[in-house]
């Protein structure tokens, strides 16, 4: 599969790394020679230096042969024009990143019919939706590629007061029809066995049919105090999108922004959110706002150092939980060590969204669990596979690879040890990246 990426910035480079690791043929285009040199030093991809609006540059990148073109520069207008030009030159599918809210609001009514773009992605809105999901307002979700089945995923963070902690997974009451294939613990991704034990603050993924996921979600929510008071630091596009999303809930939301003009604009377009013109880097201000009563503090300014400092100060002064926006992986690790509860990476969210539009092939990536470490994949069992007629127990899969679910005739089947593999079964696997080639060979050859 040939993929062309226009833009070698943070998002473009990150996506190129992910796709190259999966052995896609990737070409990256950017006018900045330094960015191109950086990406060439890190990733095995083809590169073209030049203006993405130049016809000759696009032809040198062979956009006419592209199965998928991703336009992810920081310039919305350039993205739109370059995407449309590439589509007219022969690119099969074109996905464009747009951040301008005015453009996005009018896209479906005014602009969509004028440009040849298959899909427009708004990274800020995607990030806001991810934060809302972590808060618990979005419920469980069904992966787009699996909508033909009754399979669902749900993330949850276990509290220290939960009756489920310090018990082996195989002994968790109510989880008989649920699989927990992955646990996020501190800086690690754990692929557990039935003997592993949940620890306080573990974030884990549950997999099962929609009814089972709904049932266990209700039990988990009943043991946790609902998040009521939320403070958002940063009147950025993400801060606005998050506040707008939360206005449809019963949550009490305060948004803090130090730019007066931004505050005035936000007050005109947000209805129930309390807009405060100040800074969360001021301890006195946080105390005046009764930070100890805040259930969740979310930092989404453009300054990652400010996000970190403000969240740590809020936590020290009594905020119960913190979520911080961070683009840099090195900062993510530091934040977790210092006590930030959850970090959100827009580039990782964007990459996960883009994975849905790749050619499935024999091994389809579904969710990136942690950059270059682990992911969820979907693979079908070929008739020629050595697994046909073999039980899961007898297959003896390597450590770091967990079967999350099996879909047979559109129905979700739990992967118990005595289950026999059939040709045509669709298997969902949580795995360390080092096992990807093993999975492809074992299930498909």
Question: What's the pLDDT at 85?
Answer: 95
- Please tell me the least confidently modeled range out of 40-44, 185-189, 320-324: 185-189
For helices 346-355 and 10-21, angle between their N-to-C axes, nearest 10 degrees: 50
- pLDDT (mean) for 114-139: 78
Q: Note the pLDDT tens digit of each residue in 377-416.
A: 889 999 999 999 999 999 989 999 999 999 898 888 889 8
Question: What's the pLDDT at 99?
Answer: 84
Question: What's the pLDDT at 252?
Answer: 94
Cβ neighbours of 442 (radius 10 Å): 18
Question: What's the pLDDT at 265?
Answer: 95
Question: What's the pLDDT at 31?
Answer: 96
Question: What's the pLDDT at 331?
Answer: 66
Q: Note the pLDDT tens digit of each residue in 228-275.
A: 899 999 999 899 999 998 987 888 999 999 999 999 999 999 999 999
Element (H, E) at 208: strand 203-209
Phi/psi-derived region of residue 202, left when phi > 0, alpha when psi is between -120 and 50, beta in every other case: beta
**Burial (Cβ within 10 Å: 0-12, 13-18, ≥19) of residue 6:** buried
Task: Output the pTM of the full model.
Answer: 0.69
Question: What's the pLDDT at 113?
Answer: 80
- Please tell me the least confidently modeled range out of 176-190, 260-274, 279-293, 323-337: 323-337
**Which residue, chain included where needed, has tokens 């019919």?**
113
- pLDDT (mean) for 220-224: 67
- Please tell me the least confidently modeled range out of 3-7, 188-192, 305-309, 342-346: 342-346
Distance of CA 59 to the CA centre of its chain: 32
Residue 87 has pLDDT above 90, yes or no: yes
Question: What's the pLDDT at 224?
Answer: 59
Spatial separation of the C-alpha atoms in residues 437 and 363, rounded to whole Å: 9
Residue 141 has pLDDT above 50, yes or no: no
**Which residue, chain included where needed, has tokens 């005739």?**
409
Question: What's the pLDDT at 279?
Answer: 97
Six-digit token string for 319: 């905020």
- Around 263, how many Cα atoms within 13 Å sit in the side-chain half-sphere? 15
For helices 123-135 and 237-246, angle between their N-to-C axes, nearest 10 degrees: 40
Spatial separation of the C-alpha atoms in residues 333 and 337, rounded to whole Å: 6
Six-digit token string for 151: 């399979």
Question: What's the pLDDT at 360?
Answer: 56
Question: What's the pLDDT at 137?
Answer: 42
The one-character DSSP state at 111 is: I
Q: What mean pLDDT value characterizes the chain? A: 87
Question: What's the pLDDT at 4?
Answer: 96
Question: What's the pLDDT at 65?
Answer: 95
- pLDDT (mean) for 298-320: 93
Residue 306 has pLDDT above 80, yes or no: yes
Domains of the chain (ranges; CATH) run 2-121 (3.40.50.720), 229-348 (3.40.50.720), 359-444 (3.30.70.1450)
């Amino acid at each position: 599969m040939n993929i062309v990426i226009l833009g070698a910035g943070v998002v473009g480079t990150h996506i190129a790394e992910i796709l190259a690791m999966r052995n896609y043929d990737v070409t990256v285009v950017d006018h900045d020679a330094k960015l191109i040199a950086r990406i060439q030093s890190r990733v095995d991809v083809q590169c073209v230096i030049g203006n993405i609006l130049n016809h000759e540059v696009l032809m040198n990148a062979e956009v006419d042969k592209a199965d998928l073109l991703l336009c992810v520069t920081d310039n919305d207008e350039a993205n739109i024009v370059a995407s449309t030009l590439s589509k007219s030159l022969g690119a099969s599918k074109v996905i464009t990143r747009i951040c301008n809210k005015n453009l996005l609001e009018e896209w479906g009514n005014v602009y969509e019919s004028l440009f040849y773009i298959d899909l427009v992605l708004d990274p800020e809105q995607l990030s806001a939706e991810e934060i809302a999901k972590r808060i618990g307002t979005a419920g469980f979700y069904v992966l787009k590629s699996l909508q033909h089945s009754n399979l669902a995923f749900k993330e949850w963070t276990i509290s220290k007061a939960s009756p489920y902690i310090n018990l082996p997974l195989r002994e968790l009451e109510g989880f008989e029809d649920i699989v927990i294939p992955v646990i996020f613990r501190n800086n690690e991704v754990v692929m557990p066995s039935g003997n592993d034990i949940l620890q306080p603050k573990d974030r884990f993924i549950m997999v099962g049919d929609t009814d089972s996921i709904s049932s266990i979600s209700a039990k988990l929510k009943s043991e946790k105090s609902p998040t009521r008071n939320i403070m958002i630091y940063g009147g950025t596009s993400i801060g606005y999108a998050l506040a707008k999303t939360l206005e449809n809930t019963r949550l009490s939301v305060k948004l803090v922004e130090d730019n007066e003009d931004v505050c005035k604009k936000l007050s005109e377009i947000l209805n129930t959110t309390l807009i405060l013109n100040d800074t969360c880097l001021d301890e006195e201000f946080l105390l005046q706002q009764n930070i100890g009563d805040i259930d969740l503090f979310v930092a989404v300014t453009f300054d990652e150092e400010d996000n970190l400092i403000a969240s740590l100060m809020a936590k020290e002064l009594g905020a119960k939980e913190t979520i911080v926006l961070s683009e840099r992986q090195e900062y993510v690790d530091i934040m977790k060590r210092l006590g930030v509860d959850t970090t959100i990476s827009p580039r990782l969210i964007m990459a996960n969204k883009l994975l849905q539009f790749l050619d499935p092939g024999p091994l389809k990536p579904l969710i990136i669990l942690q950059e270059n470490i682990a992911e969820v994949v979907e693979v079908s069992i070929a008739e020629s596979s050595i697994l046909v007629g073999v039980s899961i127990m007898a297959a003896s899969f390597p450590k770091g690879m967990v079967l999350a679910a099996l879909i047979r005739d559109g129905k979700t089947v739990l992967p118990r040890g005595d289950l026999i593999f059939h040709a045509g079964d669709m298997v969902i696997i949580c795995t360390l990246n080092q096992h990807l080639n093993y999975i492809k060979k074992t299930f498909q050859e």
